[in-house]
Chains A and B, each alone.
Chain A
Amino acid sequence: MKPIKIVHLYPERMSIYGDYGNIIALRQRMNWRGIENIVENIEVGSKIPNDADLIFIGGGQDKGQVIVSEDLASKADQIKQFVESGGALLAVCGGYQLLGEYFISNDYGRLKGIGLFNIVSKATSSRMIGNIVVQSDIFGKLVGFENHSGSTEYVGRAQPLGSVIKGFGNNPTDKQEGIIYKNAIGTYLHGSFLPKNPKVCDWLIGKAIAKSGQSIKLKPLSDLLEKRARSSSISRP
């Protein structure tokens, strides 16, 4: 069996809000099912390998995003091609913004995105901070913590990840959160996101396995602790 390859994009500059938790969750939920997997870290200036099955990009500091935005331009075609051909992708917070059309930051002006997602984002003067609960058609309730000054809007056709039950989501008014395009998800949810939303984690793993050309049925796992952590998260103010 060929190991499932996770590409972690820019871990040095884009993983400041507990985003490693997403990598940990992806790996462990494969490990517990005996599915071999490896992580390849790709930093500024290196190339994304052609045999990637899943790409993850987290959030960073504004300064880090400037450099990442420049570097992403050289990777744009490859990432889009990857998603068009069924690759699984998760982008959180700053990563979500930079995979859209553009992000206008407070201190560094307009940062070009790669245009994978039909979104535009703009920094605002107030931060959207707090526990968030989202209702998704595909995944049911999603829980997490958001912390962003960027306000995001859809441009053209876009499928939201879900609608906001508690918290802000994309922006203070729309009551929509995140985006799904093919097998790619963009979201503002930290928490970390995947450990507390195992349905999303398993969905991404399933898509990554398919991308690798293998067929493995995902065995159900006991998600008792996940359920408890979810319900205590939902109960917090």
Chain B
Amino acid sequence: MRSLLAILAAKAAFRINRLTGTGGTSLPGMVAQKIDKDILKKLVKNNFPRGVIVVTGTNGKTTTTKLIADVLESNGISYVYNRTGSNMERGLITSVALESNITGRVSADVGLFEVDEAYMPKVCRAIQPNVILVSNLFRDQLDRFGELDKIARSFRSLIEELEATQLVLNADDPLVASLGYELESEKKVTYFGVGDYSGPKLEHDRTADSIFDPFTQEKLYYTQHYFSHLGKYRGKGGAFRRPKPDYQANNLRQKGIESIQFNINRSDDLVELKIPGIFNVYNAMGAFSAVKASLNLEDDQITKAIAGSTAAFGRSEVLNYFGREALILLIKNPTGLNQIIQTYLLSENDRLLVFIINDSYADGRDISWLWDSALEDLAHYKGKILVGGSRADDMALRLKYAGKKDVLAETNEAELLKLITKHTSKRSKLFILPTYTAMLSIRSQIVAGDELQKEYWQ
């Protein structure tokens, strides 16, 4: 009875949200949870006959989840997922409640959820996933998440608790890989990784945190180092070393900023991913491995769908702004920003480049991370640079110390958009690198501008 009320309330709240145009995805979940605090557990239990997949980690959650969703879609497997990246408890409740009937039945095969690292224990205890995919652990909004070691420890005790859950882990991230080591509970672990990488690298990568053996604290020895602390490593004595991946991407070949090619294990079939960069290869391999671990699909049924997949909301998303092609690249932490510098900015270095740095709670209140990013690698960037957001002045200062002069700062969004128009011409291409709340805001401004323009021409 209580859960029925909760579901109805969530649905009603969503409609009201829609009507008022607020569009928040956590409010309906919050309302439902107020009525029935166990609503998430009830909604997931007895549903999803083919399993529940959880995706977590610092970077790439939304992209990886979308890749898995596209694989399910193209193979005719029905699913429910938190599409908008609303990845805390309430966002999950909203996504399932909207798809369920009033008795709590959902007619979908698979539940697929990206989950915020800090909410993992709470959410997973409620939904008891069949598979947990951990993609990576990088330094991130330390004001919200705390230290990496603490997150890893919370994951570890959670994993021991969830007896029936399988793990899918990134073999190339020592801290993530160690989650599969020395477990007291019997558990199936699937590892994925990258076999080689010879693409562009950054000179000022300062983001390698987990370069120590998690069990002995001795420094790890790397035979290959891709970015941050990802690579091929082994500990002294060899008790802890990079596990051999069950699924490994080989022969990575980047094609401009358009795509990246690789093959899996010894297969001759090339996968051409439409989202470039080695970080997206990791996302694709995580998605591939999670599907292999949980569903009975052939390799090419998965890789075909992955190759056809396009970018997720605000992550390498192309938008039209009055005839200009704006590529929106969400930035949240130094490793993510570094990957964008490495993949995009170093190869197309004459475009207008716009950073928008906000410091709301969802962005992380602390902007110190800008100083850990490899912005010095932009020393030879040729395009004009604009900075916006509530911390525009901090970003301008950061770029000054990275050796970039003539950076224009504008905190007002409308004025920033005018500057963007002024410094570009029709058909020109530009990069916009916003933090989370800045992305939501600028994206809606650009989409609204695009629609206005379409109406005008009709």
| Contact assessment for A195 and B397 in the assembled complex, using a CB-CB cutoff below 8 Å | yes
Q: Return chain A residues, CB-CB under 8 Å to B359.
A: 236
Chain A positions 103 through 144: 1 when the CB is less than 8 Å from some CB of chain B, otherwise 0: 000000000000000000000000101110000000000000
| Contact assessment for B142 and A147 in the assembled complex, using a CB-CB cutoff below 8 Å | yes
Instruction: Using A15-B206, A61-B148, A62-B147 as known contacts, say yes or no to A229 and B368 having CB atoms under 8 A apart.
Output: no
| Contact assessment for B371 and A145 in the assembled complex, using a CB-CB cutoff below 8 Å | no
| Contact assessment for A196 and B397 in the assembled complex, using a CB-CB cutoff below 8 Å | yes
A18 contacts partner chain B, Cβ-Cβ < 8 Å? yes
B209 contacts partner chain A, Cβ-Cβ < 8 Å? yes
B143 contacts partner chain A, Cβ-Cβ < 8 Å? yes
The smallest beta-carbon distance between A222 and chain B, in angstroms, is 10
B315 contacts partner chain A, Cβ-Cβ < 8 Å? no
Instruction: Using A61-B147, A192-B371 as known contacts, say yes or no to A145 and B365 having CB atoms under 8 A apart.
Output: yes
| Contact assessment for A16 and B209 in the assembled complex, using a CB-CB cutoff below 8 Å | yes
Q: Residue on B with the closest CB to A192?
A: B371
The smallest beta-carbon distance between A59 and chain B, in angstroms, is 10
B409 contacts partner chain A, Cβ-Cβ < 8 Å? yes
Chain B contact-residue range equals: 35 or more
- The CA of A13 and the CA of B143, in the complex, are separated in Å by 19
Name the contact of A228 in the complex, choosing from B147, B150, B206, B396 (C-beta under 8 A).
B396
Instruction: Using A61-B147, A147-B142, A195-B401 as known contacts, say yes or no to A232 and B394 having CB atoms under 8 A apart.
Output: yes
Instruction: Using A20-B371, A63-B217 as known contacts, say yes or no to A236 and B390 having CB atoms under 8 A apart.
Output: yes
B50 contacts partner chain A, Cβ-Cβ < 8 Å? no
The smallest beta-carbon distance between B406 and chain A, in angstroms, is 12
The smallest beta-carbon distance between B147 and chain A, in angstroms, is 4
Within 8 A of A (CB), among B380-399: 390-394, 396-398
Within 8 A of B (CB), among A217-237: 225-226, 228-229, 231-233, 236
- The CA of A139 and the CA of B125, in the complex, are separated in Å by 51
Most chain A beta-carbon neighbours within 10 Å: one of B148, B370, B394: B394
A5 contacts partner chain B, Cβ-Cβ < 8 Å? no
A37 contacts partner chain B, Cβ-Cβ < 8 Å? no
| Contact assessment for B149 and A63 in the assembled complex, using a CB-CB cutoff below 8 Å | yes
Q: Return chain A residues, CB-CB under 8 Å to B244.
A: none
The smallest beta-carbon distance between A75 and chain B, in angstroms, is 18
Name the contact of B394 in the complex, choosing from A63, A190, A229 (C-beta under 8 A).
A229
- The CA of A12 and the CA of B393, in the complex, are separated in Å by 29
Q: Return chain A residues, CB-CB under 8 Å to B143.
A: 129, 145, 147
Name the contact of B206 in the complex, choosing from A20, A25, A67 (C-beta under 8 A).
A20
Q: Return chain B residues, CB-CB under 8 Å to A178.
A: none
B139 contacts partner chain A, Cβ-Cβ < 8 Å? yes
- The CA of A25 and the CA of B398, in the complex, are separated in Å by 10
| Contact assessment for A145 and B368 in the assembled complex, using a CB-CB cutoff below 8 Å | yes
A160 contacts partner chain B, Cβ-Cβ < 8 Å? no
Most chain B beta-carbon neighbours within 10 Å: one of A19, A20, A196: A20
| Contact assessment for B371 and A16 in the assembled complex, using a CB-CB cutoff below 8 Å | no
Q: Return chain B residues, CB-CB under 8 Å to A131.
A: 365
Q: Return chain A residues, CB-CB under 8 Å to B209.
A: 16, 61
Name the contact of A18 in the complex, choosing from B212, B370, B396 (C-beta under 8 A).
B370
- The CA of A127 and the CA of B145, in the complex, are separated in Å by 12
| Contact assessment for B409 and A147 in the assembled complex, using a CB-CB cutoff below 8 Å | no
Within 8 A of B (CB), among A16-64: 16-21, 24-25, 28, 61-63
Q: Residue on B with the closest CB to A146?
A: B366
The smallest beta-carbon distance between A66 and chain B, in angstroms, is 8
Q: Return chain A residues, CB-CB under 8 Å to B396.
A: 225, 228-229
Name the contact of A20 in the complex, choosing from B146, B212, B372, B397 (C-beta under 8 A).
B372
| Contact assessment for B371 and A195 in the assembled complex, using a CB-CB cutoff below 8 Å | yes
The smallest beta-carbon distance between A37 and chain B, in angstroms, is 14
The smallest beta-carbon distance between A27 and chain B, in angstroms, is 9
A162 contacts partner chain B, Cβ-Cβ < 8 Å? no
- The CA of A67 and the CA of B411, in the complex, are separated in Å by 43
- The CA of A203 and the CA of B396, in the complex, are separated in Å by 23
A-B contact pairs, 14 of them (CB 8 A): A12-B211, A15-B206, A16-B147, A20-B371, A20-B372, A21-B398, A62-B147, A131-B365, A191-B368, A192-B371, A196-B394, A228-B396, A232-B394, A232-B411
Q: Which residues of A contact B (CB under 8 A)?
A: 12-13, 15-21, 24-25, 28, 61-63, 67, 127, 129-131, 145, 147, 190-192, 195-196, 225-226, 228-229, 231-233, 236
16 new A-B contacts at CB < 8 Å, known A21-B398, A130-B365: A15-B372, A20-B372, A24-B401, A28-B401, A61-B148, A63-B149, A129-B143, A145-B366, A145-B368, A147-B142, A195-B371, A225-B397, A228-B393, A229-B394, A232-B393, A236-B390
